[in-house]
């Protein structure tokens, strides 16, 4: 009888396992939104699929931000509040800021990061700043809000080259703070071109009904073309600039564009968007909504959400946050879509409504996340009961579902006492197209840990940075090379304080396979440099 070589059986076992691992790694594409940095030195990490909250660095923003992670590994590359660009070590890039350093920007969409087509090492960082309106001085010294004077936004861009500063990246000196547009609103987004390579940058003129669209190609940023469609975003008497605020977002599939116009009862605007031509069409006013601000589509592109930042209506003497409205874009014709409007919170018997004063100022930003859910930040400048903190968040756990089935849930995120403030990162929305919500454990269940490995690429020692559970979980580690050979499997009962020396390894790609006591596994790609 023929016997089987146990070593052969072991190799077959690891080969089958490696095939599963490689399938998992292949599914990690589109990870540009893995890391979030926002608020008062706050961050969330979605590398495991579920969010991990922590505080890091020195960036402060009262409004939004922008973050870029590696599209394959999900490793943090850099982030910005629109004033200072910080690298993955949370340090200001040497050429990545202007005076005054670390302005706590109060702009809703102050920045957006767009990969440069045709060059994986270069990124456009679009950012905004204040200027007196209709003509006047730049207001670079204004960090949060503009005093009582008329103003509009400048749209500028800088180019980050990740090959500079020993691989940590820096702004290219001759491509810093390049003026692209004046007389703009705070609304700033980009949509991938239908060719799969280029991008459309979309802004909106101030005191106007005009959209300004630039095509971004390997040849650079094109001259703009202007389209007059939809409502006017206008300055009101007594230097009331409220309509300059509000979010503009594209649907994840790039076929729709929605624009919130803050300030009073204003039209909530929806358009079709042609990703082949950059043309907006089929304008629909979804209703004159009060103090609208945050905007998000669902991952499957079937639902549209809008929030407002006004005090919610009173019911039985208690504040009720009834200001997150859903539209069903598959309801039928235009009138059916308009009439599908439904609050996902008001009268929802399953919503864990906070106590009186929990969310007194409505909602500011909302953003799709890599876990397939929508996160909505309370207007934390206006919390009615300070004892409740100012980290109010509502999460839509099933945003593809209709009405109450979208499962809104109120929580107060904990970031070591640091406030969230009012904004979240501004991402290209295609990163979230087609995502299904991830089932995550409750916040008090420490069943999973998220690792960062650094440095990566590495030449010698690789260290672990544990971002969750207080660094207390142990794990074992297998290291597999690019052709499926197990090169290390004796690493048992490791902790976040341990390290692995790769100095004797050949240059190339290695898979680090972590196994926790609960048998969950995490795969990380590590590049061994020469």
List Cβ neighbours of 313 (8 Å cut-off, separation of 6 or more). 320, 322
State the pLDDT at residue 274: 98
**What residue segments make up the domains of the chain, in order of their start?**
24-67+74-169+183-432, 449-528
- For the chain, the residue count is 530
CB of 231 closer than 8 Å to CB of 252: no
Convert the pLDDT of each residue in 357-382 to its tens digit.
Answer: 445 556 788 999 999 999 988 754 44
Query: How far, in whole angstroms, is CA 503 from its chain's centroid?
Result: 36
**Which residue from 359, 353, 337 is spatially nearest to 408, judged by alpha carbons?**
353
Q: Is the peptide bond before 455 cis (omega within 30 degrees of 0)?
A: yes
CATH of 24-67+74-169+183-432, one of 3.30.70, 2.130.10, 3.20.20, 2.170.120: 2.130.10
- Is-same-fold flag (24-67+74-169+183-432; 449-528)? no
- Consecutive H or E run containing 16: helix 6-26
- Consecutive H or E run containing 181: strand 178-192
State the pLDDT at residue 457: 81
As a whole number of angstroms, the distance between CA 123 and CA 68 comes to: 9
As a whole number of angstroms, the distance between CA 261 and CA 364 comes to: 12
Q: Which residue has the higher pLDDT, 106 or 287?
A: 287
Q: Is the peptide bond before 134 cis (omega within 30 degrees of 0)?
A: yes
Strand partners, 409: 395
pLDDT at 466 over 60: no
Confidence band (pLDDT; 50, 70, 90) for 447? very low
pTM above 0.85, yes or no: no
State the pLDDT at residue 252: 97
As a whole number of angstroms, the distance between CA 25 and CA 21 comes to: 6
Q: Which two tokens stand for residue 453?
A: 């490995």
Q: Is the peptide bond before 271 cis (omega within 30 degrees of 0)?
A: no
Helix, strand, or coil here: 18?
A: helix
Instruction: Report residue 387: phi and psi, to 5°.
Output: -65, -20
- Is the C-alpha dihedral spanning 130, 133, 138, 144 positive or negative? negative
449-528: which CATH architecture?
Answer: Sandwich (2.60)
CA distances from 187 to 104, 248, 436 (A): 18, 5, 27
pLDDT, the chain, mean: 82
Using alpha carbons only, what angle is made at residue 394 by residues 390 and 398, rounded to the nearest 5 degrees? 165
Convert the pLDDT of each residue in 196-251 to its tens digit.
Answer: 999 999 999 999 999 999 999 999 999 999 999 999 999 887 778 889 999 999 99
């Amino acid at each position: 009888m023929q016997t089987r070589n146990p070593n052969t059986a072991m190799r077959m076992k690891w080969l089958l396992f490696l095939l599963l691992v490689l399938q998992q790694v292949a599914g990690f594409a589109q990870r540009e939104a893995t890391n979030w940095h926002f608020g008062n030195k706050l961050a969330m990490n979605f590398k495991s699929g579920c969010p991990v909250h922590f505080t890091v660095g020195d960036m402060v923003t009262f409004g939004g931000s922008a973050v870029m992670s590696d599209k394959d590994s999900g490793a943090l590359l850099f982030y910005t509040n629109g004033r200072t660009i910080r690298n993955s070590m949370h340090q200001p890039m040497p050429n990545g800021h202007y005076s005054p350093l670390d302005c706590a920007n109060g702009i809703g969409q102050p920045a957006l990061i767009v990969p440069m087509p045709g060059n994986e090492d270069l990124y456009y960082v679009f950012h905004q700043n204040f200027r007196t309106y209709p003509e006047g001085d730049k207001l670079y010294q204004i960090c949060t809000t503009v005093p009582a004077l008329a103003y509009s936004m400048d749209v500028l861009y800088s180019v980050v080259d990740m090959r500079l500063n020993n691989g940590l990246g820096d702004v290219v000196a001759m491509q810093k703070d390049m003026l692209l547009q004046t007389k703009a609103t705070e609304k700033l987004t980009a949509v991938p071109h239908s060719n799969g390579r280029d991008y459309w940058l979309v802004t909106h003129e101030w005191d106007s009904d005009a959209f300004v669209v630039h095509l971004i190609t390997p040849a650079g940023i094109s001259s703009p073309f202007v389209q007059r469609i939809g409502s006017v975003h206008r300055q009101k008497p007594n230097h009331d600039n409220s309509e300059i605020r509000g979010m503009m977002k594209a649907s994840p599939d790039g076929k729709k564009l929605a624009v919130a116009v803050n300030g009073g009862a204003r039209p909530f605007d929806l358009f079709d968007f042609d990703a082949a031509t950059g043309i907006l069409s089929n304008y629909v006013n979804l209703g004159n909504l009060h103090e609208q601000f945050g905007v998000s589509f669902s991952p499957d592109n079937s639902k549209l959400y809008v929030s407002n930042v006004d005090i919610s209506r009173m019911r039985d003497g208690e504040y009720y946050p009834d200001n997150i409205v859903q539209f069903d874009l598959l309801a039928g014709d235009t009138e059916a879509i308009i009439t599908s409007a439904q609050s996902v919170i008001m009268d929802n018997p399953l919503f864990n409504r906070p106590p009186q004063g929990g969310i007194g100022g409505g909602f500011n930003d909302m953003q799709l996340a890599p876990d397939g859910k929508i996160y909505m930040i309370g207007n934390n400048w206006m919390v009615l009961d300070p004892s409740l903190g100012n980290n109010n968040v509502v999460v839509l756990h099933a945003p593809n579902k209709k009405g109450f089935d979208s499962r809104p849930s109120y929580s107060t995120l904990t970031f070591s006492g640091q406030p969230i403030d009012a904004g979240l990162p501004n991402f290209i929305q295609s990163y979230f197209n087609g995502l299904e919500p991830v089932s995550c454990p409750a916040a008090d269940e420490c069943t999973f840990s998220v690792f960062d490995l650094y440095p990566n690429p590495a030449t010698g020692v690789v260290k672990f940075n544990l971002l969750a559970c207080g660094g207390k979980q142990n794990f074992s580690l297998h290291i597999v090379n690019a052709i499926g050979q197990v090169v290390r499997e004796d690493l048992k009962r490791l902790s976040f304080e341990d390290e692995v020396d790769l100095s004797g390894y050949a240059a190339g790609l290695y898979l680090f396979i972590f196994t926790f006591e609960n048998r969950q596994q995490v795969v990380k790609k590590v590049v061994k440099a020469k």
